[in-house]
Amino acid sequence: MKQLSLLLLLFLMTGCASDSKTRLIRLGHGLDVTHSVHQAMVKADDYLNDLSEGKMRLQIYPNQQLGSERECLELLQIGSLDMTKVSGAVMENFAPNMRIFGLPFLFDDKEHLFRVLDGDVGKSLLKEGEDYWLKGLGYYDSGSRSFYTRERPVKTPQDLEGLKIRVQESASAFEMVKQLGGSPTPISWGELYTSIQQGVVDGAENNPPSFYLSRHYEVCKYYIIDEHTMIPDILLVSTHLWNRLSAQEQKWLQEALDKSIIDQRRLWTQSENESLKAVIDAGVEVSYPEKAPFQEATKAMYDDFSKDPVIANLIERIRNEKN
C-alpha cells in the first residue's frame, strides 16, 4: 500500500511538473521543515530561481513524504525522483568506498572534516555512485554522532555491553557498535521514538539537532557526547535527470547547491548549540566522557578496513589533511 501511494504521488508530481514552463526538480528528504538541511534546501531553491531567472526551481518534499532515505535512493535510480539527501552511512550500501566515513574518530575536528569534504578526497567520493545512477553534488554538515540511552548513562565502552542500540543500515555502524559491546539494531528513523519508548531498543546514536528535533530526548534522558563519527549528509541527483540537463542548467543547479552548503553549515552550528541547550533544559543529563577508551575499543576496525588497499589509501590521505 505504501509503495502504491508513493507511485501515485510521484505520478501526480510528474504531471504537475510537465505543465509548467519552469523545470521543477523534485527533491525528497526525511527531515523536518525546521531542520537546517531543509532550510538550506529552501535557500538553494531561491538561489536556483535567481540564477536561472525562473527557469528552474526545486520542489521540496520533506518529512519522508516520499519514503525513507533508502527508498528515495531507489526512486532516484529508476528516475522517478530527481534529488535527495541521505546520510553517508546509507550511501555506503550503494558506493562502498563511502564506508570510510563510518570509521570512528577518523576526523580530529570540524575543520579537518571540511578540508577533506571540500578537497580531492571528498570530490572523488561524490563520483562513487554514478555507476548506480546516483551523482553526488555536495556535502551538508551533519555534525558528530554520539550515544543516547533510556535507562542509564554510557560513560565507558563497558556501559554499552548488552544494550540494543539503533543504527542506520550501515555495515560500518553495525561493526562499531559490536566492537563497543552493544547490540546493533536497524530501525527506520520514523519508527525509532516508539521503539525506544516500548523498549525495543535501549538507545541510539545521532547528532544533537536530530536528538532534539525528533523529540527522542523525551524518552532518552542520557546523552553522552563522545563524537564517535562525523558522517556528512550527501546531496544526490539522479543521473537520469542530470544527463537531460543542459550544461547551463547543470551549472545553475551546482552553483545553487554550493551556495546553500555555506548556509547550511552556518545554520547547523546554530542549531547544534540551540539543541544542546534545549535538551539540557528538558532534563537530559549530558556528559563528555574520555574518548580514548572508545578509540581503543574500535581500533580493530582500522585494521580490518586497511585490508582494502583503496580504503587504506583514503585513510592515509585523510590523515594527511590534519593540521
pLDDT digits 0-9 by tens, 181-240: 999 999 988 899 999 999 999 999 999 999 999 999 999 999 999 999 999 999 999 999
Looking at 46-50, 52-56, 65-69, 146-150, which range is the least confident one?
Answer: 65-69
Nearest to 88 by CA among 170, 145, 159: 170
Distance of CA 110 to CAs 57, 229, 266, Å? Answer: 31, 11, 12
Q: Where in the chain is the domain with CATH 3.40.190.170?
A: 2-140+231-273, 145-230+275-319
Enter the CATH code of domain 2-140+231-273: 3.40.190.170
Residue 312: predicted pLDDT: 96
Q: Which CATH class is domain 145-230+275-319?
A: alpha beta
> Is 0.95 topped by the overall pTM?
no
Task: Confirm if 279 and 74 have CB atoms less than 8 A apart.
Answer: no
Q: Give me 192's grid cell.
A: 525509532
Predicted confidence (pLDDT) per residue in 104-119, tens digit:
999 999 999 999 999 9
